Chains A and B, each alone.
Chain A
Amino acid sequence: MKRFLIEIVIELVFSFVVLSLIYITYNAYIDPYYNKFITGKQSSMIFGTSRANIGIRPDVINSRLEGVCIYNYAFNGHQSRWGETYYNSIEKKLDKSRSDGLFILAVDPTSINSVFDKNGKESFAREKLLKKMTNVSTPIINYQYIFNEINNPIYHIFTSKAHDDGFLELYAPYDSAGFMNNKKTMITTFNNSQAKEKVSQHRLDYLNRTIDLLKNYGSVYLVRIPTAEYIRELEDSAFPDFDNQMIDIAEHSGIPYINCKNNSNLYKYTIDGNHFVTDDSFNFTNDLCDSIVKIIGY
């Protein structure tokens, strides 16, 4: 028995050490979001859904805006819609020791929508990851995430890389044929999801609360990231009041609303029409910096 236990413990410890070393060395390839939980608290951040995670490059902003060290803390349309869950996670990740931060809040109609059941009860079931992740800034390695949350095979190494600054780089070159072929599917997907969702007062309230929180620690910008033209048209027809709602929120909070939705044709998108191809993440972030510079006035 003694020999058995010793051998089992040795094997488990050895595997654990090797596993940990691999995770520490290759953290960028493990999972699109793992990196976000092994960096410390941040004083400047980008928030939003996958459009922001894939579309706004912190390295570009940091090189363009002096003294800024911004971090991309955006996730995806399931996990990081505005609401209590994302708010709590942002609060945990926020470095409250400084008040000169820069915060870019990417908004889109999906980010303020929720699924409601027949009785009108709002569902937050998809926000499991951020709800469960109590530790969002563990240095070096985050075992909570590794053991509980990684459910993606290692195939990710062929499709994406998570940068140290939180930006998610997709290895997806522009595919015009794929883009055109996928249009019909995306329109169906959009219509199917809109049939189940509507604007959530809870999410609008929490967007306001998030802005109020962040204003204490720096300047806040509300940004609408462009999408492929047909996606914009779909969103405009499904949510005609969205921009007005954002303008109201921005005016009420005294922050700028940078609405780039009409710049669709300046960029190229992945086949889902929702995300920039990598080169255009770079271009868009540069254009965004121009807008911010104009507002700040330097």
Chain B
Amino acid sequence: MLFNSIEFMFFLPVVFLFYWFVFDKFLCNYKHKLLLQNAFVVVASYVFYGWWDWRFLLLIAFTSLCSWLSGVLMQKVDNNIDVGEAISESKSVTRKRKIITAVNIVLNLAILSTFKYYDFFVTEFAKLFHLSADGILLKVILPVGISFYTFQALSYSIDVYRRKIEPTKDIVAFFAFISFFPQLVAGPIERATNLLPQFLKKREFDYASSIDGCRQILWGLFKKVVVADNCAVVVDQVFADYANMPASSLFVGALFFAFQIYGDFSGYSDIAIGTAKLFGINLMQNFNMPYFSRDIAEFWRRWHISLNTWFRDYVYIPLGGSRTTKAKIVRNTFVIFLLSGLWHGANWTFIAWGAYHAVLFIPLILLGKNRKYTNTVAEGRLLPSIKDIVMMTLTFMFVVVGWIIFRSENIAEAWHYISGLFDMSLFSMPSVPKRDLLVVPFIGLLIVVEWFNRQGKHGLYGVEKLPYWSRYIVYTLIILLIFFMRTTPKAFIYFQF
């Protein structure tokens, strides 16, 4: 079910009303109320996911079950140790816990690899040895959101192993944690330490948080429907015929893709976080105005935060992070960026995109300047300084080049596209229909609104400061824009990851 679909317009209020009125108010004195409410979240989430393809619900259920069992087994191992023996010092306990975690990780990654990477690697291997891979390819469709919920499940298992969180016996709460519909198919990839405890205690309806959630949903829809989907019209034209396009069109196509992917993915995250707020659940921030970054390191602290912190905590730091030799820092940085690229999909373009960002990032980390910009740009000021503008523009252009690699079908296309930009036709009129460029004012609106709310958690964060009636005018104008700027509903780009 798409967030920007008619079905979701009906699904959300129905689930909301049942969640609060039937499973909270109506059953207020029932001792298993929380259990039922969580069970309802699981059912609603499975309906949400099954709307796309119910067969893959088995995968989610299996992933959830394996990860939950890993926690239960680790707890059992802990309970079986001799009295007086310090848990952390018991080698046998640690070894058993390690084995349980490893088995769970292998199982989850095996499922992910089978569906996402098997055909890619087999094809590439066959190509290398001039063999035919036809007979051994699986050719299965990629389950929507598999990378997201697999990583979420893994985080639980690893955190239990690291004793950052107590394993839960509540299987229903755990299934709700893995399948919670707002973030099931495209994140944010939640940590068990943040989300699971919220399913283990009674949720309270909070007026201010719910209103803010609605605002965030509205802004997310604006970014998706008005900006991303309309940019996609131009992007698809340009990338489909890039070989015959003047450099100016290629430039416009690349810029538009930067806004398409931002509007699409951060829009999804806004809707997910906003929707979760309606259910009394707080999800982590996934985007923090990344195009206002002044260097690549800052960009990566603001873009897809949940994935990047996942790689930081579960891969980069265990490898030694940046408190090691320079050679290892370079290796560790490459590892997380390449993995991050591969996480997006089984294609060399994603790996090249990761490598490209690693190359941009490594000089900063080696010079110790990767944390130069940890504050918000132009903090306390209305407008940025000239230096800020130059740094933001440069960073943005580097990011745009990365997006060309990301969006291309293959490396050759990316190369031709980028080399096609260096041509005198860059100064000609772009050869895309002028009416399709009418999305530009809305990109402008996105930039302006987010600039003024850059210290907030989303684009409409500051609206609450406006007088009561002005707020409603703003909401109505955005709703009208969403209605009048609709194109054919497009699936969110990150569903495929």
Contacts and interface: CB of A to CB of B under 8 A. Distances in A.
Interface string B195-228: 0000000000101001100100000000000000
Given A1-B205, A7-B211, A155-B438, A14 B476 contact: yes
Contacts of B6: 147-148
Contacts of B436: 155
A151 B476 contact: no
B472 A4 contact: no
Contacts of A7: 211
Contacts of A154: 484-485
B52 to A, nearest CB: 19
B214 A8 contact: yes
A12 to B, nearest CB: 8
A105 B355 CA distance: 61
Contact of B483 (A4, A8, A14, A19): A19
A153 B484 contact: yes
A148 B486 CA distance: 11
B489 A4 contact: no
Contacts of B476: 11, 14-15, 18
A154 B439 CA distance: 11
A22 B480 contact: yes
B428 interface: no
Interface in B468-497: 472, 475-476, 479-480, 483-489
A298 interface: no
B40 interface: no
B473 to A, nearest CB: 9
A92 B85 CA distance: 82
Contacts of A148: 6
B23 to A, nearest CB: 14
Interface in A1-40: 1, 3-4, 7-8, 10-11, 14-15, 18-19, 22
B20 interface: yes
B323 interface: no
Contacts of A159: 435
Interface residues of A, number: 22
B179 interface: no
Nearest to A22: B480
A154 B20 CA distance: 38
Interface in A144-170: 147-148, 150-155, 158-159
B210 A4 contact: yes
Contact of B489 (A19, A22, A151, A155): A151
Interface in B363-381: none
B486 A153 contact: yes
Interface in B394-453: 435-436, 438-439
Nearest to A16: B479
Contacts of B211: 4, 7
Nearest to B434: A158
A19 B207 contact: no
Nearest to B213: A4
A116 B139 CA distance: 26
Contacts of B435: 155, 158-159
A158 B446 CA distance: 23
B230 interface: yes
A145 to B, nearest CB: 13
A15 B484 CA distance: 13
Nearest to A18: B476
Given A15-B476, A155-B435, A159-B435, 19 more contacts: A1-B207, A3-B207, A4-B205, A4-B210, A7-B211, A14-B472, A18-B476, A19-B483, A22-B480, A148-B6, A151-B486, A151-B487, A152-B486, A153-B485, A153-B486, A153-B487, A154-B484, A154-B485, A158-B435
Interface of B: 6, 20, 205, 207, 210-211, 214, 230, 435-436, 438-439, 472, 475-476, 479-480, 483-489
What are the 7 A-B residue pairs with the smallest beta carbon separation, nearest first?
A: A154-B484, A151-B488, A15-B479, A155-B435, A153-B485, A15-B476, A1-B205
18 contacts: A1-B205, A1-B207, A4-B207, A8-B214, A11-B476, A15-B475, A15-B476, A15-B480, A18-B476, A18-B480, A152-B486, A152-B487, A153-B484, A153-B485, A153-B487, A155-B436, A158-B435, A158-B438
